[in-house]
Chains A and B, each alone.
Chain A
Amino acid sequence: MLDQSDSYVTDDGRTIGAVVMEMKNITLRFGGVVAIQDISFDIREGEIRAIIGPNGAGKSSMLNVISGFYVPQEGTVEYHGKPRPQMRPYQVAQQGIARTFQNIALFEGMSVLDNVMTGRLNHMKSGLFQQALWKGKAEKEETANREVVEKVIDFLEIQHIRKTPVGRLPYGLKKRVELARALAAEPKLLLLDEPMAGMNVEEKEDMSRFILDVNDEFGTTIALIEHDMGVVMDLSDRVVVMDYGKKIGDGTPDEVRNNQDVIDAYLGVAHD
């Protein structure tokens, strides 16, 4: 067993570091419905961590707990070894946790460039009056932010649509713009809610490549949700499997694949 602060090197030569985030005995209820029941797992620095499970397993709820959209009734979220106090989503984002949404939440009326630029809002420090006068620090800051944004746009290959209003883009590209906005924040932890949902095979391959490249190039820690087993197994270093709000498996893709509970959940064995 690895210790909290241990690190190791993967087969393809990436270094996986210490535990960044640890979920401890999380329970989330909506009225009488238990969405998440007593689940614990951790996310290590630099890894791609997947949460999988059939529809309604509570995967998205779990992601919403991490990003502060839902507040669990029980359990603690530890971030860099310290229990995180109850936070609002914008405060979580300010801590360096960026996310995308299953149903895409973009600013439809703005151009791609402006959308990605909003990802930099937390990196803008100069005050209202400095910005109003557009002098010195504010100007330098704007230039620096633009550089990061242009780099992300280049990286995700969306230069050709940078001036296009997002509302006009097809679904697959919207997903990519959303990823770009999250990346522009230079997040310490990137949460992806079904990044490949509703995509065709080609788009899925593109998105997989981008996720791997992001992790490889920027060393970004990524936690993602997906119910396409095949994609997840190829992408991730470790996998948490959920079913009916409970954790039924946790480990490397190979371990999970051979776990009887997981096989049952996916093949559909009657629950007693």
Chain B
Amino acid sequence: MSDQFLFATEVFINGLMSGVLYALVALGFVLIYKASGIFNYAQGVMALFAAMTLVGIMEGQVPFSHIINAVFGTEVHHFGWHVPALLAILLTVGVMVIFAWLVQRIVMRHLVGQEPIILFMATIGLAYFLEGFSDLMWGSEIKTLDVGLPQGGSFWIEDMSAGLGSDNFYGFFIDNLDIVATGIAALLVTGLVLFAQYTKQGRAMRAVADDHQAALSVGISLNFIWVLVWSVAGFVALVAGIVWGTKSGVQFSLSLIALKALPVLMLGGFTSIPGAIVGGLIIGVGEKLFEFAIGPMVGGATENWFAYVLALLFLVFRPQGLFGEKIIERV
């Protein structure tokens, strides 16, 4: 096999891996959009908030320590204990559930039946609020997150594949974290699908997603289901936050991964879970291969815009995305 082909393969595999990460974020959007028709702009910030909370709990940080210190003139920063990763993750899930309940109680409940654009604006407000709130609660410095996920290149894969090419080829470089992330994403999606298909709450969730009035008439509480959906989205945000946070540190830019999820959604369709996954993979692979093949000719940095151009093409030729429900206007 020629080295060029092997390099392309490596780029392809790495593209798949980063696609999985995009898909993780997009999944949170799809869940809420399907069940309530709300495009949740705050999904990215939710991932940031979840990751910051997780770090904060693990390191025994005192929440709101800046305010406390400023008001009372004290100097508290840490409780002085360390919480094991698993327990901290469970506690963070609890925090995300409370957050979901508050969002439903304080914001979304009062906007039932409003225009989608109004709901969208509400989530923009929510995003900015949550951004400031997480800074206030946990401080704004960049933190490292280590819940025990392996990091760095996989030597095993590198050694195994090194013999495939000539002496100039050193084997595939694949990040261990990416491999683990793929496993986590597969587990998450399987879990979500099983939940939606086979449990009472999952059935109710699908029912609400399909028709509010019909759902009410068979005895489903919309409020409960929406809290549930926001909680699940919060959980997905936490998973995305853990993976991205481990990869590039917990910092403000984490909330911007939401912007990468947008083209994924346009490709896969806003209403389809498989769509989010396939869309993520296509964009991940597409932007890496494009950078590899065309990038050098146009001066590089194509990864910054490739996804958006692809999304634009889809908007023109297939606005419902690959897997979205076909838009049919009845007259």
B211 & A108 in contact (Cβ 8 Å cutoff): yes
A108 CA to B212 CA, complexed, in Å: 12
Most B Cβ at <10 Å: residue of A89, A94, A110? A89
Q: Of all chain A residues, which has the CB nearest B198?
A: A131
A56 CA to B17 CA, complexed, in Å: 60
B118: CB under 8 A from chain A?
Answer: no
B211 & A93 in contact (Cβ 8 Å cutoff): no
Residue in A88, A109, A132 whose CB lies within 8 Å of B221: A88
Count of CB-CB pairs between chains A and B under 8 Å: 81
B206 & A122 in contact (Cβ 8 Å cutoff): no
Q: Mark A108-124, 1 if CB is under 8 A from B, else 0.
A: 11100010011101101
A128: CB under 8 A from chain B?
Answer: yes
CB distance from A105 to the nearest CB of B (A): 4
B203 & A105 in contact (Cβ 8 Å cutoff): no
Q: Mark B197-215, 1 if CB is under 8 A from A, else 0.
A: 0111101101100110111
B222 & A90 in contact (Cβ 8 Å cutoff): yes
Residue in B194, B213, B218 whose CB lies within 8 Å of A121: B218
A122 CA to B215 CA, complexed, in Å: 12
A91 CA to B216 CA, complexed, in Å: 9
A131 CA to B220 CA, complexed, in Å: 18
Residue in B198, B204, B211 whose CB lies within 8 Å of A105: B211
A135 CA to B83 CA, complexed, in Å: 34
B299: CB under 8 A from chain A?
Answer: no
CB distance from B106 to the nearest CB of A (A): 19
Q: Which residues of A contact B203 (CB under 8 A)?
A: 114, 117-118, 121
B198 & A121 in contact (Cβ 8 Å cutoff): no
Most A Cβ at <10 Å: residue of B195, B199, B219, B222? B219
B216 & A69 in contact (Cβ 8 Å cutoff): yes
B2: CB under 8 A from chain A?
Answer: no
A109 & B216 in contact (Cβ 8 Å cutoff): no
B217: CB under 8 A from chain A?
Answer: yes
Q: Of all chain B residues, which has the CB nearest A106?
A: B214
Main secondary structure of the interface of B (DSSP, over half): helix
A131 CA to B215 CA, complexed, in Å: 21
A206 CA to B218 CA, complexed, in Å: 24
A271 CA to B132 CA, complexed, in Å: 63
Q: Of all chain B residues, which has the CB nearest A101?
A: B213
A128 & B201 in contact (Cβ 8 Å cutoff): yes
Q: Mark B275-288, 1 if CB is under 8 A from A, else 0.
A: 00000000000000
B211 & A181 in contact (Cβ 8 Å cutoff): no
A128 & B199 in contact (Cβ 8 Å cutoff): yes
Residue in B195, B200, B215, B219 whose CB lies within 8 Å of A185: B219
A107: CB under 8 A from chain B?
Answer: yes
A117 CA to B206 CA, complexed, in Å: 12
Q: Of all chain B residues, which has the CB nearest A96?
A: B219
Chain B 3-52 interface residues, beta-carbon cutoff 8 Å to A: none
Q: Of all chain B residues, which has the CB nearest A94?
A: B219
B213 & A105 in contact (Cβ 8 Å cutoff): yes
CB distance from A99 to the nearest CB of B (A): 5
CB distance from B215 to the nearest CB of A (A): 8
Q: Which residues of A contact B206 (CB under 8 A)?
A: 107, 109-110
Q: Of all chain A residues, which has the CB nearest B271?
A: A109
Residue in A105, A110, A124, A132 whose CB lies within 8 Å of B217: A105
B200 & A131 in contact (Cβ 8 Å cutoff): yes
Q: A121-B218, A124-B200 are in contact. List 6 more A-B contacts (CB 8 A).
A: A90-B219, A107-B211, A122-B218, A131-B199, A132-B195, A185-B218
A-binding residues in B (CB < 8 A): 194-195, 198-201, 203-204, 206-207, 210-211, 213-222, 325
Selected A-B contacts with CB under 8 Å, 22 pairs: A88-B221, A89-B217, A90-B216, A90-B220, A91-B221, A98-B218, A100-B217, A101-B213, A101-B217, A106-B211, A107-B215, A109-B210, A109-B325, A110-B206, A118-B204, A118-B214, A121-B200, A122-B218, A124-B200, A128-B199, A131-B199, A132-B195
